[in-house]
Structure 1
């Protein structure tokens, strides 16, 4: 059963398959309650993570949301030190590529290296470091792991970005708030062909702008459990009012 949020939400509608898609699909497709916007699959080029072309990433560590969403991959970043238990649990559970956060402001150096090595051992598709993460630590990690290193950025400063690339970053994750699409466009101009994934925002228009600006994949933030329960409970109250 689909969960319908408000009409302005990027999660508002279900994907519609054509007759031919339904007829010739090789395996049964389980409908998910939260389906990613169709424009991502249609227009994103995608990023190769492992042996999978990833166009959409769900920014979540919530197992219920991961289970009930059809994004291509999971971006597991949270505002706490990286946890081996969380890394292993999400990789084992998700059944799709997982990019694991290993450091940023609070966690760095030896601890981040340990987490990066552990994430690779557990089967992570890549690791991601936050904006404050130092290039010297990226270089050390790059020498020890073979999976992609992704760096979150909120600037299109040429030297800042070049230093990241020279340190071993393989993909930029642009998370610049209202400036995200401008930053994506600037990076694409300065480093043609360099892989970029971008935070998609809250509207289909924002997602489309990210794609046309040069993002090869889009990161989506799911609605909260509170908001999802509200839509369900509002429906129940209207159908089975208590007064």
Structure 2
């Protein structure tokens, strides 16, 4: 029997971004007593403040910077998973960034696919919060990274994400998997059916949202 869920939105906040409802079909991952099914992939504080995702995954193509992590943590009302490197940044520096992020209040850490196993061990010797390893191909040494101390996997394989998730799930039936869901309900469901426990959602950018608003505003003068 489907449960009735009462809803309250208000006049202003009902214009916030909603993650696709089909994400609720995944199992979620319970971390420190909190169940997480959806993670917004963004570092835009305006987006982060105005979306209903269960958590934030904050990674970006620069060396991790505590000031950026702090800015995101200061506005987020949900747990934040902060990037600690693996590509440009690695080794002891990643471990130091991880410790600082935990002290700032990060809920979890995310490392790039090229992080070394030595860096993983150093991070896990330093922090208690979970470490998430990003997988972009079936060729990644998932077993080695799990053995080094990685707690969860984050599969980001573009259109091949469901296949990569299924490949990992066959080898590791119980490992927690976060994965990109893609642009439609069908692609999200395919990823969940392949074995993903939680889904990352990439929202429209502020520029895209503003463009739509401006189009409507201009239409009033037509």
Same fold (TM over 0.5): yes
- Contact 1:49 1:126 survives alignment (8 Å): no
In 1, distance between residues paired with 2:107 and 2:20? Answer: 23
User: Alignment RMSD, CA only?
Assistant: 1.9
In 1, distance between residues paired with 2:211 and 2:72? Answer: 26
Q: TM (normalized to structure 2)?
A: 0.93
Matched with 1:34 is: 17
- Contact 1:197 1:215 survives alignment (8 Å): yes
Matched with 1:229 is: 210
Give 1:131 deviation, angstroms. Answer: 0.8
Aligned pair 1:168/2:149, yes or no? yes
Q: Which of the residues 148, 153, 158 maps onto 1:177?
A: 158
Give 1:87 deviation, angstroms. Answer: 1.3
Matched with 1:7 is: none
Matched with 2:5 is: 21
Q: Which of the residues 52, 66, 69 maps onto 1:84?
A: 66
Give 1:31 deviation, angstroms. Answer: 3.3
Counterparts of 1:138-149 in structure 2, within 5 Å, are 138-149=120-131
Q: TM (normalized to structure 1)?
A: 0.85
Q: Which of the residues 97, 100, 113 maps onto 1:118?
A: 100
The more displaced of 226-235 and 58-67 is 226-235
Structure 2: gaps of 5 or more residues: none
Aligned pair 1:240/2:212, yes or no? no
Structure 1: gaps of 5 or more residues: 1-17
Matched with 1:216 is: 197
